[in-house]
Amino acid sequence: MRRTIDWDGDAVTIIDQTALPADYRVLTLRTVDELIDAIRRLAVRGAPALGAAGALGVVLATREGGDVRASADRVAKARPTAVNLSWGVARALEKLDDGAEAVLAEALEILDEDERLNRAASAHAAEIVLALCNRRPLRLLSHCNAGHLATVAWGSALGVVWHLHERGLVESVLVDETRPLLQGARLTAWELAQAGVPYQVQPDGAAAAAMARGLVDCVLVGADRIAANGDVANKIGTYGLAIAARHHGVPFVVVAPSSTVDASLATGAQIAIEERAPDELRTLAGAAITPPDAGVFNPAFDVTPAELISAVVTEHGRYRPR
Ligand code: MRU
């Protein structure tokens, strides 16, 4: 599969994640404003992919001229929760004094690194999952999309599935649909189908019941920001999954590149949580599903306390909270 986000020599190219699974199309983003719009619409999404987007945003800013640092700041603030976005911007900006070519080289290095680090993190996590679970082959549960599409390539939590599937160790994956934007039903299911991994999509509300019935050997999720103490921000619903997993004695494993660790935050209570537009909940596939002005609570992420997590795993192995 092509990279989720890439540089074609003149512009940023992304797989349009708003169109999948019905349409597979590639968008070309030539300006900082187009990139910011794509980030806000979730045409490009997922923490590691946002890291690459941040760095490429600085590349676009250098080409547009004007106040590069002000444009870079707008990119960094396009979404607040995934620390990778501002991390990618900051890494590219460090090269600004060396010129536009140095900024581009740094952004391309981030793109190259991404697959390598996600493969390594998910390989470590696969070994940890095998150590935590006795049953073979494994029945895994996934929330949101932490696959190829959430990274430049390969994936984090879903990368674990790829490693285990290569070894014939995956029986099936239960895919939380992930309301309201359906990253599980639309994107994770699409990736699993492409890879020939057996899966079932379930409503988010079915996850605890699946665990109660003994249908889940391990929960695997990605992360948008990991505080120094090991608290993890991830897609809304992750916290509830972790509570259910603890109640049922199911291991709960978080996989992310170390760029997702924000050591400047002591605990998850300090993580900014993005609130998204009410209409994401008031409508489904364009049709109204609530009274027109229904009040809406639509946080895009939640924070799972470290004590509910069996392991947080990066390319360096198990993350040791401070
Ligand atoms: O709102 P999204 O789709 O960007 O949220 C993405 C997630 O919550 C992912 O689980 C997270 O970024 C990890 S992706 C490897």
Q: Where are the alpha helices (DSSP H) in the chain?
A: 32-40, 47-64, 68-76, 83-93, 100-132, 157-166, 189-195, 207-212, 238-248, 279-282
178, 205 Cβ separation under 8 angstroms: no
What DSSP state is assigned to residue 182? T
- Evaluate: CB of 153 within 6 angstroms of ligand 1: no
194 is in an annotated binding site: no
Residue nearest to atom 10 of ligand 1 (CA): 222
Report pLDDT for 236: 98
Q: List the catalytic residue out of 114, 176, 204, 224.
A: 224
- What confidence tens digit (pLDDT) does each residue in 162-216 have? 999 999 999 999 999 999 999 999 999 999 999 999 999 999 999 999 999 999 9
- Going by pLDDT thresholds of 50, 70 and 90, the confidence category of residue 285 is confident
- Evaluate: CB of 237 within 6 angstroms of ligand 1: no
Structure tokens that stand for 151 in this block: 């990274």
Q: What is the Å distance from ligand 1's center to 277 Cα?
A: 17
47 is in an annotated binding site: yes
Query: What angle is formed at CA 206 by the lines to CA 178 and CA 219, rounded to 5 degrees?
Result: 70
Class of domain 124-318: alpha beta
Mention every residue, 6+ apart, whose C-beta is less than 8 A from residue 248.
208, 211, 212, 216
- What confidence tens digit (pLDDT) does each residue in 246-272 have? 999 999 999 999 999 999 999 999 999
Return the CATH number of the domain spanning residue range 5-113: 1.20.120.420
Residue nearest to atom 6 of ligand 1 (CA): 46
Q: Quote the pTM value.
A: 0.98
Mention every residue, 6+ apart, whose C-beta is less than 8 A from residue 109.
none
- What confidence tens digit (pLDDT) does each residue in 289-316 have? 999 999 999 999 999 999 999 999 999 9
Q: What is the Å distance from ligand 1's center to 193 Cα?
A: 20
- Evaluate: CB of 81 within 6 angstroms of ligand 1: no
Ligand 1, atom nearest to 45 Cα = 4
Q: Domain residue spans in the chain?
A: 5-113, 124-318
